[in-house]
Amino acid sequence: MLFRIIFIHIVTFNLFIQPVLSQTLEELSNTVAYLTKGSQSGTGFFIGNSDNCYLVTAAHVSKFMDEGSAVKIRIENDKSFSIPISGIVKGNGIPKWHENEKQDVAILNIDVSYFIEKFKHRMLPLSRFEQKLVAPKRERHLVVMGFPLSLGASGFFSPLTAESNSASGLLTIKSENGFNQTVFVIDKPSIEGYSGSPVFLMPWPFSDSAAITMLSVGSEEAKVKCVGIMVSTLSDSTGGKLGAIIPSYYIVELINEIESK
């Protein structure tokens, strides 16, 4: 049996915004934000570099995110730092979300220069997103990270993680708005508040056939990747539930469209 060593590759960029490139869940949790307006809430996460920064969430979450909404992030000692979304929106402070017409994904251009110290090591670089329209292999370990039922969003501030596996390849399902959207399904359900959460593919050993596979030193597979965004729960009257994930391909596609204009 051949065993290969997992290699954790950490690179530091001397940029205005330093991206998250390490692979611990604790550090990845700093890329996640709690989004709230009154009694409504969801999860978002940050993508960016020294030139462009974005807040990403599910489109049905962005619908209630107006200039009166708040974005909460974690700072030292598990405390929260709350920012009016109008304070990080580029332009006149009114959020103008970019949406995919047929996928439940929304992206907002943000300017965090006023809060630069709070946003160091909080941006996921686009290179850490799966660029192809694929579902993760069922054997690989996935982690969803967000704020189900607003847990972790008050008092001590800490996103919750849920480990799962892909339970399907790509599927076409009807969205709440009645259009067909492309998803893959995980074997755990979403929970209210998890909508908009990133789904990470972890470089952990996994069982493949009769062997345990460990990822090659320095390979792309040995790096954490964001492979999707949690959008909904599929359920029936028997109580069975599955989580629906929109592939990260649609996030990458939408950002490329934004930056090409």
Residue 51 pLDDT: 81
User: How many whole angstroms separate alpha carbon 225 and alpha carbon 214?
Assistant: 16
Of the pLDDT bands very low, low, confident and very high (cuts 50, 70, 90), residue 216 is low
76 and 160 both lie in a single domain: no
216 and 143 both lie in a single domain: yes
Neighbours of 217 (CB within 10 A): 11
Residue 202 pLDDT: 87
Residue 7, token pair as written in the block? 């290699």
Q: Read off the pLDDT of residues 22-47 as tens digits, 9 standing for 90 and up.
A: 668 898 999 999 999 999 999 999 99
User: How many whole angstroms separate alpha carbon 145 and alpha carbon 196?
Assistant: 9
Q: Tell which of 126, 145, 180 closes a domain.
A: 126
Q: Tell which of 126, 145, 172 closes a domain.
A: 126
Answer yes or no: is 1 within a domain.
no
122 and 160 both lie in a single domain: no
Do the Cβ atoms of 49 and 125 come closer than 8 Å? yes
Is 215 a residue whose pLDDT tops 70? Answer: no
108 and 223 both lie in a single domain: no
Listed residue (163, 145, 170, 181) closest to 60, CA to CA: 181
Q: Work out how many domains the chain is built from and give that number.
A: 2
62 φ/ψ sector (left φ>0, alpha ψ -120 to 50, else beta): alpha
Listed residue (206, 176, 175, 200) closest to 186, CA to CA: 200
Residue 92 pLDDT: 76
* Stated pTM of the model: 0.87
Residue 209 pLDDT: 66
Is 54 a residue whose pLDDT tops 50? Answer: yes
Answer yes or no: is 216 within a domain.
yes
* Lowest-confidence region among 74-78, 150-154, 187-191: 187-191
Listed residue (40, 20, 54) closest to 147, CA to CA: 40
Answer yes or no: is 20 within a domain.
no
169 and 188 both lie in a single domain: yes
50 and 39 both lie in a single domain: yes
Is 222 a residue whose pLDDT tops 60? Answer: yes
Is 224 a residue whose pLDDT tops 50? Answer: yes
65 and 180 both lie in a single domain: no
102 and 200 both lie in a single domain: no
3-state secondary structure of 147: coil
pLDDT average, residue stretch 244-257: 96
**Which residues lie across from 70 on neighbouring strands?**
36, 84
* Helix or strand holding residue 71 (H, E): strand 70-75
- For 120, list phi and psi in degrees, rounded to 5: -65, 140
Answer yes or no: is 196 within a domain.
yes
160 and 210 both lie in a single domain: yes
245 and 157 both lie in a single domain: yes
Q: Read off the pLDDT of residues 172-198 as tens digits, 9 standing for 90 and up.
A: 988 777 789 999 999 877 677 789 999
Answer yes or no: is 9 within a domain.
no
pLDDT average, residue stretch 85-100: 89
Domain range for 168 is 127-252
104 and 205 both lie in a single domain: no
Is 217 a residue whose pLDDT tops 70? Answer: no
What does the buried/exposed string (b/e) look like for 128-142 if buried means 16 or more CB atoms within 10 Å of the residue's CB? bbbeeeebbeeebbb
Listed residue (190, 184, 143, 178) closest to 42, CA to CA: 190
Listed residue (50, 46, 220) closest to 131, CA to CA: 220
Give the domain CATH number at 60.
2.40.10.10
Q: Tell which of 126, 159, 175 closes a domain.
A: 126
Answer yes or no: is 99 within a domain.
yes
User: How many whole angstroms separate alpha carbon 157 and alpha carbon 77?
Assistant: 9
3-state secondary structure of 174: strand
89 and 144 both lie in a single domain: no
